[in-house]
């Protein structure tokens, strides 16, 4: 067989492999973006009407709504990649005008849009662990916002984004949400219950539900870390971001300055008290004593 014939066959095989790979990438990525999920029957067990709007604004800051969606909540680019790929956190001032309270709660807590498709990289597990009362307050606050123009165009999935989707680079929110972490109906007020609630709704995303740290997040065991903090230093840390050694930390200080300084004094006190409990005392707490019931 002549050399040019061999090269032609080789080239045809290369083209076939590329075509097959592209077909597979498109099929997998389309399956992720177009798959429909069942929506929960009761995403919010308390009414939004009458919720504390002012507290909703505080919670929206503390839970990272402004960090992801921009300082005016008009949208922000979260990721840019090759071939026109762009992941965008949308304009919340306009989204709230198009969805019911139940639809908004489903988007926030489960990462499922009204049409049944999934959000990508939405931190819904954190919001699912939040109380219905807190989610209702956030929605009530969002409904007070005047609609503003989009700060950026919507997400677009170029070839690079499709490849990353197929490689599971992004988190498919509807499939990654831990539905066993559904929060209580009302936000607890008793210090120990409030402390447990805050660790599960705020700390567990990085430190794990058992608070022992997560190697993938490079996060430490919270109870071990707390041994190095007096209550005064702990309170100063969550107020100013200044740690026990008199300076900030690489991860927590920026989070405190942007989000966690919205914790109230009662919140910080409850966190310190709860994290100070021996591990055995914590695991012996029942859901009934640890948080307000849904009923």
Distance CA 155, CA 231 (A): 44
Pair 271, 211: CB distance under 8 Å? no
Lowest model confidence (mean pLDDT) among 70-74, 159-163, 240-244, 246-250: 246-250
pLDDT (tens digit, 9 = 90+) per residue, 94-152? 999 999 999 999 999 999 999 999 999 999 988 999 999 999 999 999 999 999 999 99
- Percentage of residues of the chain with pLDDT beyond 70: 92
Angle between helices 101-110 and 132-142 (to 10 degrees): 120
CATH of 191-290, one of 2.115.10.20, 1.10.760.10, 3.40.109.10, 3.40.50.720: 1.10.760.10
- What pTM did the predictor assign? 0.88
- Looking at the predicted structure, is the pLDDT value of residue 283 above 50? no
pLDDT (tens digit, 9 = 90+) per residue, 183-203? 999 999 999 999 999 999 999
Q: Write the burial class of residue 225 (CB in 10 Å: 0-12 exposed, 13-18 middle, 19+ buried).
A: middle
Q: What is the DSSP letter of 121?
A: S
Confidence of residue 62 (pLDDT cuts 50, 70, 90): very high
How many angstroms separate the Cα of 59 from the Cα of each of 9, 25, 211? 62, 39, 22
Distance CA 179, CA 39 (A): 12
pLDDT value of residue 1: 57
In the CATH scheme, what is the code of domain 53-181? 1.10.760.10
- CB-based contacts of 60, cutoff 8 Å, min separation 6: 66, 73, 138, 141, 142
Q: Which of 196, 272, 192 lies closest to 231 in space, CA to CA?
A: 272
176-191 as b/e: b if 16+ CB within 10 A: ebeeebbbbbbbbeeb
Q: What is the DSSP letter of 122?
A: -
What mean pLDDT is predicted for residues 144-172? 93
Domain with CATH 1.10.760.10 in the chain: 53-181, 191-290
Pair 214, 208: CB distance under 8 Å? yes
9 Cα distance to chain centroid: 50
């Amino acid at each position: 067989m002549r050399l040019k014939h061999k090269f032609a066959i080789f080239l045809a095989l290369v083209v076939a492999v590329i075509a097959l790979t592209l077909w597979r990438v498109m099929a997998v990525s389309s399956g992720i973006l177009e798959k429909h999920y069942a929506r929960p029957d009761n995403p919010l067990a308390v009414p939004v009407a009458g919720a504390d709007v002012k507290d909703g604004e505080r919670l929206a800051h503390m839970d990272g709504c402004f960090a992801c969606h921009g300082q005016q909540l008009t949208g922000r680019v979260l990721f840019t990649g090759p071939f026109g790929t762009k992941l965008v956190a949308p304009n919340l001032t306009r989204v709230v005008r198009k969805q019911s309270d139940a639809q908004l709660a489903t988007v926030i807590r489960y990462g499922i849009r009204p049409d049944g498709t999934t959000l990508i990289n939405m931190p819904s597990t954190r919001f699912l662990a939040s109380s219905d009362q807190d989610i209702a307050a956030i929605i009530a606050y969002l409904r007070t916002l005047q609609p503003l123009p989009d700060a950026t165009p919507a997400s677009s999935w170029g070839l690079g984004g499709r490849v990353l989707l197929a490689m599971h680079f992004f988190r498919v929110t509807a499939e990654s949400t831990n539905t066993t972490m559904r929060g209580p109906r009302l936000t607890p007020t008793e210090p120990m219950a409030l402390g447990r609630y805050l660790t599960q709704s705020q700390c567990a995303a990085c430190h794990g539900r058992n608070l022992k740290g997560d190697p993938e997040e490079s996060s430490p065991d919270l109870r071990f870390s707390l041994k190095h903090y007096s209550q005064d230093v702990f309170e100063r840390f969550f107020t100013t971001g200044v740690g026990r050694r008199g300076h900030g930390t690489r991860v927590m200080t920026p989070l405190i300055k942007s989000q966690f300084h919205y914790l109230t004094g009662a919140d910080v006190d409850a966190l310190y008290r709860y994290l100070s409990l021996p591990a055995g005392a914590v695991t012996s707490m029942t859901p009934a004593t640890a948080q307000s019931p849904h009923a």
